[in-house]
Structure 1
Amino acid sequence: METFDYVIIGAGSAGSVLTNRLSEDAGTKVCVLEAGPSDWHPYIHLPAGFIKTFHMKSVNWGYQQEVGPYTGGRSIYAPRGKTLGGSSSINGHIYNRGQRQDFDTWAQLGNHGWGYPDVLPYFRRMERRVGEGDDTYRGRDGNLTVTTMDWQDPLCEAFMNGAVSLGIPRNPDYNGQIQEGVSYCQRTIQNGLRVSAATAYLHPARKRPNVDVRTHAHVTGIIFEGKRAVGVRYNRGGKYGDPLEIRVNKEVILSGGAYNSPQVLQLSGVGAPDLLQSHGIEVRHALPGVGEGLQDHYAPRSVARVKNIRTINEMRRGLSLWVEALKWATTRRGLLSLSPTMVYCFWHSGETTESSDLQLTFTPASYKEGVQGQLEDEPGMTVASWQQRPESRGYVRIRSADPFQAPIIQTNYLAEELDRRVVVAGMKLARRLLASEPLKPYFAYEDFPGPKVQSDAEILAAVTERGTTTFHPGCTCRMGPAEAPWAVVDDQLRVHGMEGLRVIDASIMPRMISANLNASTLMIADKASDMIRGKTPETAAQLAEYA
C-alpha cells in the first residue's frame, strides 16, 4: 500500500499552502487529495469569470442551505470551490484580513499564539503587496500577489465622496493599521489574471518530486487504529470510481473547508455520538463540537437605478462586450479584469461599542432578483451590507452515511436579535450612501428595498426576502481548549483526543472575523505549517499599541 508522510485532504486555500510549505523539506513525501478537477478552465483565471464559475458544476460543490428562520422560506445557494485552489479559484478574489480584535479574541478564548501580534508576521510572510501600505503591516516578498482595484469609475468616486460627506474617511489601506473607512478594494489579481492559492502555492510545489497531487479523488473516510489516524480512503473518479487507500507515516491533515471538513470527520466516526449512531456509523471518538457553530456573513443588497452614466449592466452585452474582450486580450485591463465589487466601506452600526461592525461594498452594477450571478438589463448600482461579527450560529451535519450525499447546512442567519438590529442599521446606512449629495447626478430612484419601506420591521422583512450568503462559512471545527465543550482542535490545530490528525482551514476559526475569509485561511495554513514542521514560530510583531 502507498505510504506518505502527510496526506492532505483538499487542495483548496489551506491545502495549497500546506503542500507548498511541507514539501520544502525534500525528504518529506506529501500527497494531496482533491475531489474536483485541475484548475485548467479559462473562466477560473479570467477575473470576471467568477460570474460563470459561480454555477459551474464541474468546479463547484453547489451546495444548498436549509431554510432558516429569517430567509423568507428560501433555501440559499452556497457555492464552494471544487478544483485545485478550492474557493480561491472561483471566488471574487478579494483580499481582506480583518481587524486586530478578531485575532485577539481568538487568543482570549484560550488559543495561545493566535493574537494579532502572533498572526501578523504570517500575513506579512505570505503576501507580495503591490501598492500602498506600511511595511509594519504589509509584506512585499511572499507568494500571494495583492493589488488594488485600478478600474477608475465616476460612480465609484461619487460613492466614496458620498461616504466622506457622511463622516466616513478615505482609508488608503484597510489591511494596514486600521480597517475603518472607504477605499477601492484590494484583490489577488496580477496582470489581469486571478492569483489563486493553486497559482501562488500549489503549482510551484507540484514541480517537486516529493509532491503527489491527485484530482477527482473524493475522500470517503479517515482510517484509524485506535485513536490514531493512519490513512485515508477515497474514490478515484468520484462515486463510481475505484475505492483506494493510502497510509501516512506522520499525519492526516483535513483541509476541506467549513462544510466538508466536519462532514469527513463525522463520516469517519468523529463527532456527536447521537448523530453518528442515527446513521449507523461506529463512534470512533466522541467530539460533540464537530460541525457545530457554523457562522457566515448574511448580506442584503440595496439597489438604485442610475441615470446620466453607463453602468456595467450595459457594458457587458453587444458590441461593448466585444470591445471589452479585445481590451482584456491586449492589455489585461477593462471590464473582464474586474472583481464583483469595486469599493469597500467599513463603519459603525451604532448598535455596538466595538470598532466597525458593518462592511459595505459598492458595485456600479445590479443583479437580477433571484438569479445570482446574472446582471440586470437596465442601469443599476448596488450596495451590499453585512454585520462583520455575527452572533448567530448554525451547524453542518451529515445527511446520511453516504459520503457522496451533501451535508445538512443550517446557518441560522439572523437568529440572534443583535444580528437583526445591525443588519437593519446597515441597510439604513446603505440608503444614506446611495442618496448622498455626490451621487445625486446619477441616482434615479431606489429600486430595492424601495421608498415605501421605512420602519425597522419593514426593512427587516426586506432583508429576509432578498439577503444571501457572502460565501464566508467558518467555525465548524473550532479551535479551543479541551475543556471547552464546543472545541474540536487545540491551538496547534490537532483534533482533541486524537493522534496524527489535524484540521487546518476556515472551520477552525473560533469566532467569525470581520472580513472575507480567504486571506485569513491562507494565514492559518502558513502558521500551521511551522507547527507541523516543528519550526520556531515567526517572532510576534512589536506594535506600539501592545507595548
Structure 2
Amino acid sequence: METLEFDIVVVGGGGAGAVLARTLADQTSASVALLEIGPSDAGREEVLDFRRYREIPAGPLGTRIPIVPPERGNGRFSYPISRVLGGSTSQNTCIWFRPPATDFDDWVAAGASGWDAETIFRHFEALEAKIRIETHATHGDFRRVLFDAAEQSGFPRVDFSRPFDAGMGEYRMSKSGAHRQSTSVVFLQPPSSLPANLTVLTETAVTRLVFGADNRVVGVETSRGIIRARREVVLSAGALETPKLLMHSGIGEAAQLQQFGIEVRQDLPGVGRHLLDHPAACVNIAATRSLPEDDLWNYAGVLFERVEPDAPWPDIEIQLGPELFEQQTAPAGYPSAPFGFAAYFTVNRAKSEGSVRLASPDPSQHLTVDPAYFSDPDGYDMRIMVGGVKAARRLFATPAMAGWVREELAPGADCRGDEAIADFIRETVTTGYHPGGTCKMGDASDPLAVVDPELRVLGVQGLRVADASIMPTMVSVNIAPTCMMIGHRAAALIARSLA
C-alpha cells in the first residue's frame, strides 16, 4: 500500500472533524487529510432528507453499541454510531441550540481556560454565518393548544435564536426545507469546492496511532495503509470511538491496557472515564382524536423548565408533539393507542458519569459502554427526571388540554408518588444520543484530564482530540452545535500553532 503524508491528519469526518478540516485548510497553507470510516453522503437521500433520520442507525451507514445492562433498570437501548461523512450531523434531528453562557463558566471552572462564553460565542457566530438555520413552526390546532398550555402553566414564549431562559418556543433546526445542513453538506460538498490543500478520504478505517521517536505521534494505521502526519494527528471520531482509538494505541489506564496485552505509551486513567449524556424519558398520552402529522417535523415545540427553583438555568428540556414516544415504553409493556402525544424530556446537566472500556484487543470489536445512569451520589439526576414527569402532567392538566386527553398511557394514572415514578423512569430511560466527556479537557493537575485547553493529549506529542469527548461538563442543550464549535475552535488553536 502507498504511504500518504500530510501536515495534519484529522480522524473522523463528523460534527467536529469536518468543520475542523475545512476551516484549517481555508485558514492556513497546511496540507490537511480528513479520514472518514464511511462513504460520502453525496446523493444519498436517506441521509440528506433529515425526516428519514431513523433509517441511518439501522442501515449500512451506521452501527450500534449495546450498553452494559444495569443491575436495576433498562438495559435494552444502545448507542448509534454513524458511518458516513458528516457523522452524527448526517443522522440527527438537526436541532440547533446555543448553550447558555453558564455552561462555559463551568468549563473554565473545571480547568478549560480560554473556553469562556465570550470566546466561544464568537465561534458559534462564525458557524451560524455559514450554516442555514431555520425556525420551524408546525401548524394546526394541536400546536396552538400546546403553546396555550405552556402559557397557562406560566411559561412565556421564547425565541431560541437569542439567549433564552425558561419558556416554550419553536424549533431551531440546521436545515433548508427538508434537507439537512450537516457538516458534510456545509463544509465538504461539492468536492469541487474544496481547497487544494484539503484531501477527504472516505471508507478509510483507522485502527491505531503510529509513534515515532520521543513518544510522538507521526501518523495512523488505516485500511489504506499508514498515513503520516508531519505536524499533528487530531482525533475527532466521537465520544465512543476516540477513546477506543487511544486505548488501542496504548494511551489510557495502564492496568486496563496491560490486561489486553497492549503496550502502554501513556498512562492516562481518564481515557474512557467521565462519560456524560442526557438521559431521556417520556410521558405518553392517548388522544381523544386523530392528530394530523406535520410534513416536515412532527414535534410542535420545546419547553425549558426549572425543576429546582434555584438552578442557574433550566434543568430540563421537554419536547412536545403529536406522536407517541414508544421506543422504550412498548418493550417495557406499556400500552399504546391509535393516536396520541408525548412529552419527551432530558436532564440538561446530568451529573452521573459512565465509562467506555475495551472489550477485546481487536480494534474491530465494540467497546463496553456503561452509561451508569442515576449513579450520582446525591440523586440529582433522578430528582430532575421525576420532576420532568410531574411537569408534563401539569402541562397536560391545563384547561387548554381539556378535550384532548383520553388517558395517560405511560407511566399511567396509577403511577403516583416519587418512588413509583422513579421505578418507571429506571425501566424506560434511554439515551438522549448525546455522549461526551470521555477524553476530558482540564488542567494537568486533574487526575482524569486527558487533554489540556489547547486540546493536546497530555504526555503525548503531535496528538490532539477535538470532539464531544473533550467536554469537561455536559452542555445544557442538544450537543451537535457544540461539537461543531469544538471543531471550529480546534482549527483556530492549530492554526495559531502553525503560524
Q: Give the TM-score band, short-chain normalised.
A: over 0.9
Q: In the aligned structure 1, how far is the partner of 2:139 from the partner of 2:114?
A: 40
Distance 1:59 1:408, change over 3 A: same
Distance 1:25 1:421, change over 3 A: closer
Match of 2:368 among 389, 408, 419: 408
1:298 counterpart = 2:279: yes
Cα deviation for residue 153 of structure 1 reads: 3.2
1:55 counterpart = 2:58: yes
Contact 2:234 2:464 in 1 (8 A): yes
Distance 1:154 1:272, change over 3 A: same
Contact 2:290 2:340 in 1 (8 A): no
Matched with 1:430 is 392
Contact 2:336 2:409 in 1 (8 A): no
What one-letter code is carried by the residue in structure 1 that aligns with 2:400?
A: P
Q: In the aligned structure 2, how far is the partner of 1:116 from the partner of 1:491?
A: 14
Contact 2:289 2:339 in 1 (8 A): no
Q: In the aligned structure 2, how far is the partner of 1:100 from the partner of 1:106?
A: 10
Match of 1:202 among 188, 194, 214: 188
Alignment of 1:45-444 (within 5 A): 45-56=48-59, 58-72=60-74, 74-127=75-128, 142-173=129-160, 175-203=161-189, 207-225=194-212, 226-236=214-224, 244-312=225-293, 335=295, 337-338=296-297, 341-350=299-308, 353-370=311-328, 378-416=338-376, 417-444=379-406
Runs in 1 of length 4+ with deviation above 6 angstroms?
A: none
Show CA shifts across 1:159-208 (max 9, x none): 121111111111122x5222321011110111321111111112257632
Cα deviation for residue 354 of structure 1 reads: 2.7
TM-score (norm 2): 0.94
What one-letter code is carried by the residue in structure 1 that aligns with 2:172?
A: Q
For structure 1, which segment, 418-427 or 153-162, has the greater mean C-alpha deviation from structure 2 after superposition? 153-162
* RMSD over equivalenced CA pairs, Å: 2.0
Contact 1:424 1:460 in 2 (8 A): yes
Matched with 1:319 is none
Contact 1:224 1:231 in 2 (8 A): yes
Matched with 1:41 is 44
TM-score (norm 1): 0.86
Percent of pairs with identical residues: 31
Cα deviation for residue 232 of structure 1 reads: 0.4
Q: Secondary structure at the match of 1:462?
A: helix
Cα deviation for residue 70 of structure 1 reads: 4.8
What one-letter code is carried by the residue in structure 2 that aligns with 1:251?
A: E
What one-letter code is carried by the residue in structure 1 that aligns with 2:20?
A: L
What one-letter code is carried by the residue in structure 1 that aligns with 2:158?
A: N
Contact 1:424 1:459 in 2 (8 A): yes
Q: Secondary structure at the match of 1:345?
A: strand
What one-letter code is carried by the residue in structure 1 that aligns with 2:6?
A: F
Q: Secondary structure at the match of 2:338?
A: coil
The alignment covers a number of residue pairs equal to 488
Show CA shifts across 1:464-506 (max 9, x none): 1112111000000010011100100010101111111000000
Q: Specify every segment of 5 or more residues in structure 1 that has no aligned partner in the other structure, as ranges.
A: 128-141, 237-243, 313-333, 538-547
Matched with 1:130 is none
Cα deviation for residue 311 of structure 1 reads: 4.0
Contact 2:274 2:353 in 1 (8 A): yes
1:491 counterpart = 2:477: no
Q: Secondary structure at the match of 1:176?
A: coil
Q: In the aligned structure 2, how far is the partner of 1:7 from the partner of 1:351?
A: 47
Q: Secondary structure at the match of 1:122?
A: helix
Cα deviation for residue 68 of structure 1 reads: 2.3
Q: Secondary structure at the match of 1:494?
A: coil
Distance 1:48 1:252, change over 3 A: same
Contact 2:102 2:312 in 1 (8 A): no
Matched with 1:329 is none
What one-letter code is carried by the residue in structure 1 that aligns with 2:356?
A: V
Q: In the aligned structure 2, how far is the partner of 1:204 from the partner of 1:502?
A: 28
Q: In the aligned structure 2, how far is the partner of 1:257 from the partner of 1:203?
A: 21
Show CA shifts across 1:377-406 (max 9, x none): 711101012211011001111111111101
Contact 2:21 2:491 in 1 (8 A): no
Cα deviation for residue 350 of structure 1 reads: 2.2
Show CA shifts across 1:43-96 (max 9, x none): 11112101222422x111212111124533x23221121110000000111111
Q: Secondary structure at the match of 2:16?
A: helix
What one-letter code is carried by the residue in structure 2 that aligns with 1:234?
A: T
Alignment of 1:15-26 (within 5 A): 15-25=17-27
What one-letter code is carried by the residue in structure 2 that aligns with 1:24?
A: D
What one-letter code is carried by the residue in structure 2 that aligns with 1:410?
A: D
Cα deviation for residue 444 of structure 1 reads: 1.3
Cα deviation for residue 209 of structure 1 reads: 2.4
Q: Specify every segment of 5 or more residues in structure 2 that has no aligned partner in the other structure, as ranges.
A: none
